[in-house]
Amino acid sequence: MVTEKHEDFLMAVRISDNGEFIHANPATLGQQGATNVTNGCINLSLGDAQAYFATAMYGDPVEVSGTSIELSAADGDLYDWAIDWPTWQSMSAL
């Protein structure tokens, strides 16, 4: 993955249209799981990122904890798993 703001990242899986990814970032290995150190991405060790990248499928739900920022319609077409079930049902035409 390459964006205008950041260098290359290995094994990157996009989870929103606003630039949030799950990807390998060995530079943050000591902080992973304990500290927010990047701009919204989920950092993994290279081994964990390879395993996730090899098995992730488009549409897989991703649950992120430890943040007050939630995905929404403003994040483009990759937010539907962020909608709780009662809200999802309320959008039904049935």
What would the pLDDT profile of 61-76 be if each residue is shown by its tens digit? 888 877 777 777 777 7
- Domains identified in the chain and CATH numbers: 13-90 (2.40.440.10)
Three-state secondary structure of the chain: CCCCCCCCCCCCEECCCCCCEEEECHHHCCCCCCCCCCCCCEEECHHHHHHHHHHCCCCCCCCCCCCCCCCCHHHCCCCHHHCCHHHHHHCCCC
User: Active site includes 41?
Assistant: yes
Whether 23 is catalytic is: yes
Statement: the pTM of the whole predicted model exceeds 0.75: no
Q: Which of 11, 12, 21, 23 is catalytic?
A: 23
Q: Which one of the listed residues 11, 41, 42, 49 is annotated catalytic?
A: 41
- Higher-pLDDT residue of 41 and 74 is 41
